[in-house]
Amino acid sequence: MRGICSFTRSDLPPELRLILACLRVTPNDKETRQIERLSQNGAAWPVFLKLVDRHRVAPLVYTNLSRYAGKTAPSAMMSALRSRFESNTRRGLANAAETGRLCQLFQENAIPVLSLKGSALALQAYGSLALRHAGDIDLLVAPHHVDLADHLLQRRYRRTVPRFPLTSDQGRRFFRLMHHFGYRHNHSRLRVELHWRPLINRPSPVMNPTRLQNRASTLTVGGSPLPTLSFLDNLLYLCAHGAAHLWYRLFWLVDLAEMLRGNPEIDWRELIALAREADLMRTLAQGVILAHELLEAPLPEAIRAYALRDRLVPYSAKVAFRFMLCLQTEAPPISLILQRHLCNLRTGNSFQDKLRTLQEICLGQDWLTLGLPDSLFFLYFLLRFPLWLQRRLRGSGKQRA
């Protein structure tokens, strides 16, 4: 039976159906049968592994495939997955230790800080650091603490976003249009993002760092306290973050699905009120609908009713679905790129939201890596298309190779 978005798992290639069946900490009986059946029916294993990497879901896929289909899946493929699982586990442990160290460093310097996603989310949603993809360390501070936090981070890390010192005018533009600095450790290769608001181009009093810190919860990781978002704030943030990237990677959706499945007593009235106040109702509905359609997460009637009233919710979910299927990661079809920009433009309710999104599209992120004087800032807009075309041709060449 087709849902709100008019697609089901049966519309997917068998490789992605097998992946989806593995994307639960504790698969149900139907999913275990699917894992056994699909792994025996001759999946295209190179495509399967490419999709696993593209969606960054190796930890859960390896865990459940080895448990329910370890004897039928090819040994070379299982070995490749095990290598990814072990590498991710090591990185997850390193990220957790460093997150605790950085939070302590900030607090010693009177900088209130929150950990976004990462180790805290791995424990909240999966109950284990080993089962979630370990990527960047994301830290959120109030805007007036960014200068000091940036100074503390640059004692040990090399700043990579932006790669060059900002003039005062560029700094004002950067703070208005962007939402984080990026850093990389020269030896450990750990990556950190320092955020001054959780969402790009979406300043909101509800998602204000100070307000989020006042509602924060604290986890203990390796004996160190780790301040993080409250449960409801986290749900809203996961939906908004996934929608901003059009759910390009499945592991973001798995985060949301596990949070929904593991907490059946969610106060949906309070969450919906919070989403409306933050102007994030569409993104909340889109995330919950996708998690329900693809991962069988709970779907409350209030969200279902909203999605049936707002045609943009199923439309944007279907565009996200097409992005999930796309293997052309370096150079996705232009039609998909245009649909993504259209979704982002239409998702904003206010004129200011749409204007900020349009400016982001026209400016791009080339100015984060290419330094120009303030007097030539207008050239970033003129260079946007030729630089994008150069990257696309380079990406197409990599995929053909």
Same domain (yes/no): 222, 96: yes
**Is residue 65 a part of any domain in this protein?**
yes
Amino acid at site 243: A
Same domain (yes/no): 93, 212: yes
Rounded-to-integer distance, Cα 157 and Cα 12, Å: 42
Rounded-to-integer distance, Cα 265 and Cα 363, Å: 43
The residues pairing with 217 across neighbouring beta strands, listed in sequence order, are 228
Q: What mean pLDDT comes out for the span 73-100?
A: 96
What's the pLDDT score for residue 396?
56
Same domain (yes/no): 97, 175: yes
3-state helix, strand, coil in the chain (%, to 5): 60, 10, 30
**Is residue 98 a part of any domain in this protein?**
yes
Same domain (yes/no): 223, 99: yes
Same domain (yes/no): 65, 94: no
Q: Which of 126, 328, 100 is nearest to 219 (CA)?
A: 100
pLDDT at 1 exceeding the cut of 50: no
- Is the Cα torsion angle 113, 115, 120, 121 positive or negative in sign? positive
The residues pairing with 227 across neighbouring beta strands, listed in sequence order, are 218
Question: Where residue 193 sits, what CATH number does that domain have?
Answer: 3.30.460
Encode pLDDT of 4-52 as tens digits.
Answer: 766 667 778 899 999 999 999 999 999 999 999 999 987 899 999 999 9
CB count in 10 Å sphere of residue 12: 17
Same domain (yes/no): 99, 206: yes
- Give the residue with greater pLDDT, 400 vs 268: 268
Same domain (yes/no): 96, 170: yes
What's the pLDDT score for residue 349?
60
Contact (CB, 8 A) for 246 and 323? yes
Encode pLDDT of 193-206 as tens digits.
Answer: 999 999 876 667 78
Q: What mean pLDDT comes out for the span 342-368?
A: 66
The residues pairing with 140 across neighbouring beta strands, listed in sequence order, are 114, 195
Q: What mean pLDDT comes out for the span 359-381?
A: 70
β 191-195/137-140 pair status: parallel
**Is residue 378 a part of any domain in this protein?**
no
- Is the Cα torsion angle 141, 214, 349, 116 positive or negative in sign? positive
**What is the extent of the structural domain holding 36?**
1-73
Rounded-to-integer distance, Cα 134 and Cα 97, Å: 12
- Helix ranges (DSSP H) in 24-57: 29-40, 45-55
**Is residue 109 a part of any domain in this protein?**
yes
Q: Which of 316, 329, 259 is nearest to 285 (CA)?
A: 316
**Mean pLDDT score of the chain, rounded to an integer?**
87
**CA angle (197, 198, 203) in 5-degree steps:** 55
Q: What mean pLDDT comes out for the span 64-72?
A: 92
Q: Dmax of the chain from CA atoms? A: 64
Rounded-to-integer distance, Cα 328 and Cα 358, Å: 25
Element (H, E) at 142: none
Q: Which of 351, 347, 353, 361 is nearest to 202 (CA)?
A: 353
82, two tokens: 């095990």
Domain count, the chain: 2
**Is residue 345 a part of any domain in this protein?**
no
Question: Which of 14, 49, 73 is the C-terminal boundary of a domain?
Answer: 73
Same domain (yes/no): 48, 125: no
Rounded-to-integer distance, Cα 214 and Cα 16, Å: 41
Encode pLDDT of 306-327 as tens digits.
Answer: 999 998 898 888 888 888 887 7
